[in-house]
Structure 1
């Protein structure tokens, strides 16, 4: 099968997302900026500066899919980030897309910050989320009025290209946060296209080389992106809401539902998207070797119907999408959490299970090893080692052993609060991005001798904005 480069690009970027955000910069050489990368990226939860170490700044957050109606660990990260940025006194304006929610029900603010919605589209194979190129150029209007100190945009996706465009034209520092591992999704979903994995890495290098800082969610992702030639990569620290996910939510009633009336059986749980990249079919063979075990799958996704047929006649309960206390109860009421996915950039559900006091048996791949100390607060198993998974799960059938490991898992999760993660983000990593911006040629706008090209490009954009009514004859934000 032959596809054009543009067709492959659209397929690749859309698939990855379907299974998932004008003023001079102010780098001020703060003490926080001088913290070493080793300290920032370490597994110590005690090295964050005070939340308000750096002065308040103006941040434009461009995020897709929307974290306000989209349920995921990714969405939780942005909500927690905004909560503590508000506490720090930062001024944030958000641009996102949500074409699935009726216009009158779209939120216009979150945590006191204004939300601007731009038009987008949905992907037929996974139409729960919306994506956008911002062809309306609402981002231009936001930037002209708001004049942010920096732009923070999510990756991979389509809004990313709008952010690159706006950052270059307006000379604004650009931070990209990487949430979905594009090459893994390329192999899993578009492996029939020759060279698709290399193409994915080429796209990532092109886009992220234009960032003043790329944030990833685990040291493993940092190492992989750096090895593949992507510069300026830091780890956006993990965080967990230890009040929402807590052993206190253990519920006999929820366990009765999850085990279909057999609460004394050994209960394994998986929470998250039901997609091929999660390797959930691997669990069926585990069930076959553990006759007294049951499985509860919490979530929804493109593979749900296929999995329901695949697990037919096994002791498997499909719980659907859960939220709030029901989700907390589903975590805390299980005996073990199974995570066979080898494509996680972090795996928030792993941390949420640990906070719930439920040990995790997870793949020794992606970002999961950054969360689990093997044999101490959970288990790591090579992704293809079925017998290894079964052996570790059988160990957890010992109630006393399971309880002690769950206590250690909870203790580890308690060390990771969202305030500390946001403190490092705003006091250290945003400062680093601002400093990187200043140190790059023409504020990161390109190689030397391109100034005339950018001046012509800027003039054309001014003309377009005036025709669309987004700018007056003179557009100060675009004339620097």
Structure 2
């Protein structure tokens, strides 16, 4: 098996798609499966790796973590001719994905796609909803030639089926690093670094952007009863277009850390008391699973991929999307009941331990093999 992966975002970029693809390629390398990744360059320069081919790019307007590549098409063709892929996996539908689609169709190579981001929802947040019709027309055209389309959650599958994007849509879940994201990482370093004096820490991790409903995070904290708010600290981890503006509103009860990763991020999770994540645009919710693995109870929106991770009343609470009263009520309930918070955290960790990358990627490889076999049978018939 030789897999060519086309994506418009890849490590060291920090987002769910890039992290997922890095985990995938690490698994392929570990299991000696040949692969090539065709990806844009990024803001951060990285050492050259033979399996990763990068191209000049510009940031994508709606989502700067995805970049519009300016690929050398002759170079890509020569590289693909030499690699001779048995399967093409296209993760994003921009420039590089379009060329991968063209090459696969021309050379009759089995192709699969994965759908990661609800860009149609983003259009509302950026005040251009009139583009939705054209977006779905393009997505329908783009995905038509693939043998399978992978999605991270049942709600995403239902959405794509309703939009008639494809009739072969398969779940490709997500895992988490249980060793890195671990309740045992709890320590006082985070409190000391950010001078946090309050007893309880409410944590948000994610992009500081409109489509993440970051305004609901702030409004929820402000809507808490005074007794809760005075005893709590809101720790906001992440970068994004609204960070500079929002971080100007300094408070002894609110801290913006900017981007964190690795052990520092793991410590921030484990050293907090609950995870507040109101985003209603998620196809999955990787940070929710990281928080659960760290032993945190979750307060999330009852919509999109997040609702499949939270069992209401067992490891967290599901709230009506963008309903500040609902989020504030359940946050207050969690803050004021230590035993409830502890029990939910234990169950959250137990659930996260069932989400193994090894099993998820093993099933994906079997699906790849199924597509390759099915294509061979079609052409030999």
TM-score (norm 2): 0.92
1:124 Cα offset (Å): 6.8
Structure 1: state its 5+ residue gaps.
Answer: 1-56, 444-480
Q: Does 1:423 align with 2:366?
A: no
For the structure 1 residues 333 and 403, does the alpha-carbon distance in structure 2 shift closer, same or farther, using more than 3 Å as the test?
A: same
For the structure 1 residues 135 and 186, does the alpha-carbon distance in structure 2 shift closer, same or farther, using more than 3 Å as the test?
A: farther
For the structure 1 residues 133 and 424, does the alpha-carbon distance in structure 2 shift closer, same or farther, using more than 3 Å as the test?
A: farther
Provide the C-alpha distance between the structure 1 equivalents of 2:53 and 2:288, rounded to a whole number of angstroms: 32
Provide the C-alpha distance between the structure 2 equivalents of 1:212 and 1:282, rounded to a whole number of angstroms: 39
Please say if residues 139 and 166 of structure 1, whose CA atoms lie closer than 8 Å, have aligned partners that are also in contact.
no
Please say if residues 217 and 277 of structure 2, whose CA atoms lie closer than 8 Å, have aligned partners that are also in contact.
no
- Aligned residue number for residue 76 of structure 1: 19
1:187 Cα offset (Å): 2.0
Q: Does 1:357 align with 2:295?
A: yes
Provide the C-alpha distance between the structure 2 equivalents of 1:261 and 1:308, rounded to a whole number of angstroms: 16
Q: List aligned pairs for 1:403-422, cutoff 5 A.
A: 403-422=342-361
Q: List aligned pairs for 1:77-226, cutoff 5 A.
A: 77-102=20-45, 105-109=46-50, 114-123=51-60, 130-189=67-126, 191-192=127-128, 195-226=130-161
TM-score (norm 1): 0.73
Provide the C-alpha distance between the structure 2 equivalents of 1:321 and 1:305, rounded to a whole number of angstroms: 12
1:439 Cα offset (Å): 7.0
Structure 2: state its 5+ residue gaps.
Answer: none
Provide the C-alpha distance between the structure 2 equivalents of 1:216 and 1:242, rounded to a whole number of angstroms: 22
Higher relative contact order (CA 8 A, sep 6+): 1
1:133 Cα offset (Å): 4.9
- Aligned residue number for residue 216 of structure 2: 282
1:436 Cα offset (Å): 5.2
Provide the C-alpha distance between the structure 1 equivalents of 2:139 and 2:374, rounded to a whole number of angstroms: 19
Listed one character per residue, the Cα deviations across residues 45-99 of structure 1 (whole Å, up to 9, x for unaligned) are xxxxxxxxxxxx11111222122x1123322212221222223331112221215
Q: 391-400 vs 323-332, which deviates more?
A: 391-400
RMSD between superposed Cα atoms in Å: 2.1
1:225 Cα offset (Å): 0.2
For the structure 1 residues 99 and 351, does the alpha-carbon distance in structure 2 shift closer, same or farther, using more than 3 Å as the test?
A: closer
Q: Does 1:62 align with 2:1?
A: no
For the structure 1 residues 184 and 436, does the alpha-carbon distance in structure 2 shift closer, same or farther, using more than 3 Å as the test?
A: farther
Provide the C-alpha distance between the structure 2 equivalents of 1:93 and 1:158, rounded to a whole number of angstroms: 17
Provide the C-alpha distance between the structure 1 equivalents of 2:6 and 2:353, rounded to a whole number of angstroms: 30
Provide the C-alpha distance between the structure 1 equivalents of 2:62 and 2:84, rounded to a whole number of angstroms: 37
1:192 Cα offset (Å): 3.5
- Aligned residue number for residue 327 of structure 1: 265
1:214 Cα offset (Å): 0.9
For the structure 1 residues 359 and 156, does the alpha-carbon distance in structure 2 shift closer, same or farther, using more than 3 Å as the test?
A: farther
Q: Does 1:390 align with 2:328?
A: yes
Listed one character per residue, the Cα deviations across residues 15-72 of structure 1 (whole Å, up to 9, x for unaligned) are xxxxxxxxxxxxxxxxxxxxxxxxxxxxxxxxxxxxxxxxxx11111222122x1123
- Aligned residue number for residue 239 of structure 2: 300
Partner of 2:73, secondary structure, is coil
Provide the C-alpha distance between the structure 1 equivalents of 2:253 and 2:279, rounded to a whole number of angstroms: 21
Provide the C-alpha distance between the structure 2 equivalents of 1:380 and 1:391, rounded to a whole number of angstroms: 11
Provide the C-alpha distance between the structure 1 equivalents of 2:66 and 2:43, rounded to a whole number of angstroms: 7
1:314 Cα offset (Å): 6.9
Please say if residues 10 and 17 of structure 2, whose CA atoms lie closer than 8 Å, have aligned partners that are also in contact.
no
- Aligned residue number for residue 452 of structure 1: none
1:372 corresponds, among 300, 304, 310, to: 310
Partner of 1:396, secondary structure, is helix
- Aligned residue number for residue 178 of structure 2: 242
Provide the C-alpha distance between the structure 2 equivalents of 1:209 and 1:314, rounded to a whole number of angstroms: 53
2:163 corresponds, among 211, 221, 228, to: 228
Listed one character per residue, the Cα deviations across residues 178-200 of structure 1 (whole Å, up to 9, x for unaligned) are 111121112222x346x311221
Listed one character per residue, the Cα deviations across residues 435-480 of structure 1 (whole Å, up to 9, x for unaligned) are 554577x79xxxxxxxxxxxxxxxxxxxxxxxxxxxxxxxxxxxxx
Partner of 1:166, secondary structure, is helix
Please say if residues 4 and 87 of structure 2, whose CA atoms lie closer than 8 Å, have aligned partners that are also in contact.
yes
1:434 Cα offset (Å): 2.6
